[in-house]
A and B are shown apart, each in its own frame.
Chain A
Amino acid sequence: MTSHLLSWITFTPLLGAFLLLCIPKRAHNSIRWIALATTAITAALVGLAFSLFRASEAGFQLVERAVWIPQFGVQYLLGMDGISFPMVVLTALISLMACLGSLTHIRVKGGREKEYYFLFLLLETGMMGTFLALDLFLFYIFWEVVLVPMYFLIGIWGGPRKEYAAIKFFLYTLAGSLFMLIGIVAVYFASSPHTFDMTLLTTMKYGLLFQKVVFLAFFLGFAIKVPVFPFHTWLPDAHVEAPTPISVILAGVLLKMGTYGFLRFSYPLFPDAARWFQPAMGVLAVVGIIYGGFIALAQTDFKKMVAYSSVSHMGFVLLGLAAMNADGFRGALLQMFNHGTITGGLFLLVGVLYDRAHTRDLNDFGGLGAKMPVYAGILTFFSLASLGLPGLSGFISEFLSLLGAYQYSKLITALSAIGILLAAAYLLYMIQRVLLGKLNPKWAALPDMNALELSTLVPLMVFIVAIGLYPKIILEYMIPTLDGLLGTIRGGI
């Protein structure tokens, strides 16, 4: 088991998915239980990996290597290091929470549960694979595998404009990833001997022009996923229309695939180009941060506000990446994790409210703090985490990002700090409109959160507080790898 642990992590959801296919459509309970058990087992396997993972080592661990397509030298190559490890943990966590969240949500949405959980589990396999694959070809395959279930999950179970949102998401991402594919192929042919093996590719050097062109190709693929301004327009639609658990996955995991791509592939493969594009990345980051913040401020739709806040928060990831120093990278990677837990939680909370009130119009609420104290408390908690309240995880990562960026450019950092201010503004404005003020009598009968909903949020809160108070618990897993990466990039000078 442990020798193929990463494969088990990747494919357990798929096995669960196929098991689901054998269950009759009407056996709703068995379907739910199988799905839940599968995600739980996956999470447990990740826990096992956690115990086997040696934090102090920089290289890839638990590596699995097998020849897959000998004609191209494509390998089935999985491995975990300090960059992918947090992402895998995040994926397992968010998937489990989203699966729990699905239990009621999808029932409410009216049936087709078998299809839903099948796609859900397929999606989890895709995400895990994306974060674990060390072979560019394999990576691309998992990357694409994520798209298709996502299309269906948004398109079938989404909101009123689901079709539009689904196809928009799909096409944007596909268009980007096709360019990435071209980049991947170009890298393959530029390497000698030709290989897709990340462990070998990072040791090779390419000309600056080549690096720039291919960096751009990769950039398109990743930037659309992040999403980097101005490629973000798919995001509000997709997030808003997707059903709650899927919004959670989108915000929690999918966006991270883009920034993960930067860290895993773009930077180590094209260090010179990365440096060349450093100013551009920084500017895009700051534009995203401020732009997303301002637009979030103007939203009246709760979910859309959270969606745009993602644009702003992912900007901090990009900012950390643009800094290209130890603090920046740590901040970026940590922010990826934190944004996953925090925004995932916020989307769950939006869902909780929507399931009860069937509206997301912020101006329609008010005074719910008295009616739903637990909900109010948790919503406030996540909002505070999102606006970077110290003591909660969001602060640490944003601080590190800013600290890193400050060493690169003072102006960019100072402007980014406005984003923090904006975050406070739109989140508190939201709280004011939802929780505070007079209770709208329309909502007098709303029940507070139930145990199932709580169970989806509490684990996230544990992570948020733990990292916020003592970030070392997760940072020490990241640092050796990130420092190694930095060494690789610096070595390229």
Chain B
Amino acid sequence: MNPDMIYLVPLLPFTAFVVNILLGARFLKHRASWLSIATSAAACAIALPICFAVFKGGHFAGEFSWLPVGGGTLRFGYLIDPLSASLLFMVTIVGTLIQIYASGYMAGDPRYSRFFAYVSLFMAAMLTLVISNNFILFFMAWEIMGLCSYLLIGFYFERESAAKACFKAFLTTRVGDVGFLIGMLTLFTALGTLNFSEINGALAHGSARAAVPASLLVMSALFMFCGTVGKSAQFPLHVWLPDAMEGPTPVSALIHAATMVAAGVFLVARAFVIFMAVPETMPVVTAIGCFTAFMAAFIALTQTDIKRILAYSTISQLGYMVTALGMQGLGAGTFHLITHAFFKALLFLGAGSVIHGTHVQDIRQMGGLFRKMPHTAITFIIASLALAGIPPLSGFWSKDEILLTAFASGNIVVFWVLTLSAFMTAFYMFRLVFMTFFGKARDPHVHAHESPAVMTLPLWCLAIGSVVLGFPGSPFMHHWFQRFLAHAVPHPEYHPSAFVMSCSVIAAVSGIALAGIIYLKNVHWAEAVAKAFRPLYQLSLNKFYVDEIYSRFVIRPFLALGRVLFHFDATVIDGAVNGAGTGSMWLGAVKNWFDKNIVDGLVNFVGAFTCFLNSVVKRLQTGLVQNYLLIAFLGFLVFIIRELKLI
């Protein structure tokens, strides 16, 4: 197979986007999904053989000249190395499945074709990002994904909350993107290239690395990490992701759980050599990831919206990945990225199925759904177990790898925090499971029914993935995945530790057990605990008050500054220029004079000064000829005296 076929992978969904956006509403209507799914599947079909070729040790690259920069030119192209192959594998499969699901979920929506157009555009962007061979193309795809995210979060834009959420999402991630952009500029200044393989080449060897100023590298690494913080919803830019749940659920699954948010982690993985070149940046990454993992898990404990719980869970898990990368655990982080994509997508789709079946999102209104929606419930529980880290599901292996990395690299604090978070993860997931699927139905108005096959089928496919995908990274396959990635970027590997594994399992099991005890048997305990730890409970419920802080200290001051500057512009700058140098003392007068004249229709803005002079000079013209003569005479005298140098 010609590797250049890989260009088709993003291009096919892009075609679907173009066709859907132009013709969808009028001609395709409900057939719009067919086109998107077909192109996505075709992309999958093209991509998978290439992925497997890479898994077997292949390596593909190709490029063409795109943008002339400086003396040289930026070349665009693809780079299929182990890292991108893994993601390509995941994205094509998960993407296709989710679209199949969505074709059922979104049925009957008036903007059906628009939805699939956006999703196809997103697929195109995500796939471009995955296969891109340089940061510019990466960034472009990255931003277009942000756009799709924006469009899809705001898909139900008639809802005020959705309109606000999409704005917030775009702007918050944009903050990180600006950092990313600056990081790229710095990198380009330092290395003169943005091409991944060239960067690798420049930084892989000590001698070449020494030639590059370290300060620039530190800057570029940290600024690029801003991009990750934004996109992967890490603290302090995580606030957009929970709100992003305003979008349709398949979108939450695809973009805000499986793929796009993982792109931030992928960015760190892509820039891994840079971080490796300046290891002093790593602790920052670890710290932010670790804190995020803990904080989000803690918040998830008290949330009641099914999608929000999952959203915080996503944030938390992304925190795990980032932490792993921060501890040089490229393999662990990426591994978790892949497995997480499957089970988290599954969780969201399951949640979507629940919502589709019950039309409510608050878990306090649910309960006892297991009977009514067995397919959904079983797959959902599988995914939850995977997320909680119960062996031998995929989540266990990847999470264990992260804990191992923390433990083995000597970050003991990190290790314990992550273990605690794992406990909380298991707890909140099973709180969710128990409250949703078990017990009695709490709200009599809810009439649940199982979703159609077009939706449950993808659930099962993903469930299979959630179960089996852990094995390539498990001791059973001799940590094939980690070694596979180490081909691309060398990084430290660790031997599995029984202690770590047992800690992980204990945390997971105890979490599930506690959840079972409280939410299956003694629901009132929950209230008692909340009362007992009121400050902590409030902190969790109010999401650490981050939104409030932003509102108070960032957004409102910005808007106020805008207004102040506008006022400044309208009065001072305009006034100063108009005043033609009369100085600030005159400003008030200038302004008054101004308004008056505008109102009078005399568009007179030569300045108060001119006007003033005019009134003075005008008065000289008294109409009395002898006055004129006297003035002329005195003027004449002045010139005589001056000319004769008498004074």
A and B touch in the complex (CB under 8 A): yes
Q: How many Å lie between the Cα of A395 and that of B163 in the bound state?
A: 25
A252 proximity list for chain B (CB < 8 A):
none
Does B558 belong to the interface (CB within 8 Å)? yes
A15 interface residue (CB < 8 Å to B): no
B160: A residues at CB distance < 8 A: 437-438
Interface hits, A457-493 → B, CB 8 Å: 470-472, 475-476, 479
Q: Which residues of A contact B625 (CB under 8 A)?
A: none
Q: Which of A171, A294, A399, A435 contacts B605 (CB 8 A)?
A: A171
A161 contacts across to B, CB distance below 8 A: 598
Contact B67 A384 (CB under 8 A): no
Q: Which of B148-165 contact A (CB under 8 A)?
A: 150-151, 154, 157-158, 160, 162-164
B182–A413 CB distance below 8 A: yes
A336 at interface, CB cutoff 8 A: no
- Within 8 Å of chain B (Cβ to Cβ): is A420? yes
Q: Tell me whether B182 and A414 are in contact (CB under 8 A).
A: yes
A436 contact set on B, CB distance < 8 A: 154, 157-158, 162-163, 166-167
Q: Which of A40-48, A83-91, A343-351, A365-373 contacts B (4 or more CB under 8 A)?
A: A365-373
| Nearest CB in chain A to that of B69: its residue | A327
Q: Which residues of B are found within 8 Å of A63, using beta-carbon distances?
A: none
A299 on interface, CB distance cutoff 8 Å: yes
Contacts of A377 in B (CB 8 A): 21
Complex CA gap A164/B69 in Å reads 44
| 400-447 of chain A: CB within 8 A of chain B | 400, 402-403, 406-407, 410, 413-414, 417-418, 420-421, 424-425, 428-429, 431-432, 435-439
Q: Do A298 and B71 touch (CB < 8 A)?
A: no
The reply to whether B181 and A417 contact each other, CB–CB distance below 8 Å, is yes
**Shortest distance in angstroms between B72's beta carbon and chain A's nearest beta carbon?**
10
A163 to B600, CA, bound (A): 12
Interface residues of A in 194-218 (CB under 8 A from B): none
**CA distance in complex: A297, B164 (Å):** 16
A298 engages B566 (CB within 8 Å): yes
B157 touches A403 (CB 8 A): no
Is residue B603 contacting chain A, with contact meaning CB distance below 8 A?
yes
Partner of A421, one of B21, B178, B559, B577: B178
In the assembled complex, the CB of B2 is this many whole angstroms from the nearest CB of chain A, namely 22
- Between A233, A299, A384, the greatest number of chain B beta carbons within 10 A of the residue's beta carbon is seen for A233
With the chains together, A373 CA to B69 CA distance in Å?
Answer: 38
- Encoded as 1 (CB less than 8 Å from any A CB) or 0, chain B from 44 to 84 comes to 00000000000000000000011111110000000000000
B184-192, B333-341, B473-481, B502-510 - the one binding chain A: B184-192
B residues near A373, Cβ cutoff 8 Å: 25
Contact B67 A424 (CB under 8 A): no
A131 on interface, CB distance cutoff 8 Å: no
Assuming the contacts A295-B569, A390-B139, asked whether A406 and B186 have C-beta atoms less than 8 A apart, the reply is yes
Residues 355-369 of A, flagged 1 when their CB comes within 8 A of B and 0 if not, give 000000000000101
Report if A396 contacts B (CB, 8 A). yes
**Interface: A168 (CB within 8 A):** yes
**Cβ proximity bits B130-155 to A, threshold 8 Å, 1 near / 0 not:** 00000010011111100100110010
Contact B69–A417 (Cβ < 8 Å)? no
Q: Is the CB of B163 within 8 A of A402?
A: no
Query: Assuming A167-B605, A294-B562, is B181 touching A420 (CB within 8 A)?
Result: yes
Give the nearest-CB partner of B575 in chain A.
Answer: A233
- SS class, residues of chain A in contact with chain B: helix
Are A230 and B559 in touch, CB under 8 angstroms? no
B574 at the interface (CB under 8 A from A): yes
**Are A233 and B577 interface neighbours, CB within 8 A?**
yes
The complex places the Cα of A18 from the Cα of B557 at a distance, in Å, of: 55
Q: How far is the CA of A229 from the CA of B166 in the complex (A)?
A: 32
**Selected contact of B157 from candidates A166, A390, A437, A476, CB within 8 Å:** A437
How many whole Å from A410's CB to the nearest CB in chain B? Answer: 8
Mask of B546-575 contacts with A, CB within 8 angstroms, 1/0: 000000000000110111011001000110
Q: B174 interface residue, CB < 8 Å from A?
A: yes
C-alpha spacing A326/B171, complex, angstroms: 31
Q: Tell me whether B65 and A472 are in contact (CB under 8 A).
A: yes
- Smallest distance from the beta carbon of B1 to chain A beta carbons, Å? 26
Interface residue from A230, A439, A472 paired with B66 (Cβ < 8 Å): A472
Q: Is B606 interfacial (CB-CB < 8 Å)?
A: yes
CA distance A224 to B162 in the complex (A): 42
B140 touches A395 (CB 8 A): yes
Q: Are A418 and B178 in contact (CB under 8 A)?
A: yes
Asked whether, in the complex, the Cβ of A167 is within 8 Å of the Cβ of B178, the reply is no
Which residues of A sit under 8 angstroms from B71, Cβ to Cβ? 326
Question: Do A233 and B574 have beta carbons less than 8 Å apart?
Answer: yes
In the complex, the answer to whether A421 meets B69 with C-beta atoms within 8 Å is: no
Tell me which residues across on chain A come within 8 A of B69, comparing CB atoms. Answer: 326-327, 400, 403
Residue pair A417, B154 in contact (C-beta under 8 Å): no
Are B170's CB and A230's CB within 8 A? no
**Which of A232, A298, A326, A403 touches B559 (beta carbons < 8 Å)?**
A298
List residues of A whose CB falls within 8 A of some B CB.
161, 163-164, 166-168, 171, 229-233, 291, 294-299, 325-327, 330, 367, 369-370, 373, 377, 380, 384, 389-391, 395-396, 399-400, 402-403, 406-407, 410, 413-414, 417-418, 420-421, 424-425, 428-429, 431-432, 435-439, 470-472, 475-476, 479
The 23 listed contacts between A and B (C-beta, < 8 Å) are: A164-B603, A167-B603, A232-B573, A233-B573, A294-B558, A297-B559, A298-B563, A326-B70, A389-B147, A390-B141, A395-B143, A399-B136, A414-B182, A420-B174, A420-B178, A420-B181, A421-B178, A425-B558, A428-B150, A428-B170, A436-B162, A436-B167, A437-B160
Q: A295-B569, A420-B178, A436-B166 are in contact. List 19 more A-B contacts (CB 8 A).
A: A163-B601, A164-B598, A166-B603, A231-B577, A326-B71, A390-B140, A395-B143, A399-B136, A400-B69, A403-B185, A406-B189, A407-B189, A421-B174, A421-B178, A436-B154, A436-B167, A438-B158, A472-B66, A475-B68
Contacts from B to A (Cβ < 8 Å) = 21, 25, 65-71, 136, 139-144, 147, 150-151, 154, 157-158, 160, 162-164, 166-167, 170-171, 174-175, 178, 181-182, 185-186, 188-189, 558-559, 561-563, 565-566, 569, 573-574, 576-577, 598, 601, 603, 605-606
- Rank and list the top 8 A-B pairs by shortest CB-CB distance, nearest first: A390-B140, A298-B562, A436-B163, A297-B562, A436-B157, A233-B574, A406-B185, A298-B563
